Amino acid sequence: MKIFVDSANVEDIAEAVSLGVVDGVTTNPSLIAKEDVDIHTRIRQICEVVDGPVSAEVVTTEWEAMVEEGIELSAIHDNVVVKVPIGSAGLRAVVKLREKNINTNVTLIFNPSQALLAAKAGASYVSPFVGRLDDIAVNGMEMVADIVQIFENYDFTTQVLVASIRNPVHFLEAAKMGADVATIPPPLIHQLLKHPLTDIGLEKFLTDWHLSASSRSMGPWKPRKEIK
Ligand code: G3P
């Protein structure tokens, strides 16, 4: 499974990339707005720190304007993927952008039928939002399972990019279901690495080692700082 970072913060993205597990980035208008920066500038900066697809979302609502905006966004860098919302305008824009060999990511998907239509239109990626469904007591990962099955049934090349991931369970379930990509907020990457038994085991290894070392008079040992 590919892992994308869901963020428009260059420092957070660069730090995540340094871990060696990041394959791309997704942004959205809210994430860009949080950075208070021009989208073209920020998308270019992101493309310079990650070697992979970078989703940049249009903010126009008519299909012709989406196509124009998408062409401008794709001109920023070869890795730019143009994000459009699911809907009639979004699908018309996907068709036109595909004719120009511009990759697209159809976003704000909340049921398998929307994903199927986006794949039929030629989207490069579909972004089912699992967390926002969970937030209203609907099982978001069941939607992902249905999308993965439908795409396998008909050999769609459109990639399932699981988005709105809130926790490690979403991430793990996406991998178990065979989703192509999970896009996750930077803090979740670190959360996925943590386990209390890892911390306890490391502390014991080092304690045993240093106690042994000090008993072999290899110099005074100072206990490590409290693991946070
Ligand atoms: O960026 C797309 C998606 O990941 C946003 O998720 O957390 O705003 O529901 P969220």
Nearest CA among 123, 95, 99 for reference residue 181: 123
Q: Whose CA is nearest to atom 9 of ligand 1?
A: 164
- The whole-angstrom separation of Cα 84 and Cα 72 is 14
| Position 213 confidence tier, pLDDT thresholds 50, 70, 90 | confident
User: Using an 8 Å Cβ cutoff, are 129 and 105 in contact?
Assistant: no
The one catalytic residue among 83, 100, 120, 225: 83
Instruction: Please identify, by atom number, the ligand 1 atom nearest to the C-alpha of residue 164.
Output: 6
Question: Which pLDDT belongs to residue 214?
Answer: 80
Cβ 145 vs Cβ 176: under 8 Å:
no
Nearest-angstrom CA–CA distance, 147 and 140: 11
| Segment 65-85, tens digit of pLDDT | 999 999 999 999 999 999 999
Q: Are 83 and 107 in contact (CB under 8 A)?
A: yes
* pTM, 2 dp: 0.92
pLDDT at 66: 98
> What is the CA(214)–ligand 1 centre distance, in A?
51
Return mean pLDDT, the chain.
95
Instruction: Find the 222 Cα to ligand 1 centroid distance in Å.
Output: 44
Kindly give the distance from the C-alpha atom of residue 97 to the centroid of ligand 1, in angstroms, as a whole number: 23
The full set of domain ranges for the chain reads 2-186
**DSSP calls for 154-202:** TT---EEEEBS--SHHHHHHHHHHT-SEEEE-HHHHHHHH--HHHHHHH
- CATH H superfamily, domain 2-186: Aldolase class I (3.20.20.70)
The per-residue pLDDT for range 1-40, each reduced to its tens digit, is 999 999 999 999 999 999 999 999 999 999 999 998 999 9
- CA 82 to CA 78: how far, in whole Å? 11
Active site residue 83: yes
Residue pair 134/169 in contact (Cβ under 8 Å)? The answer is: no
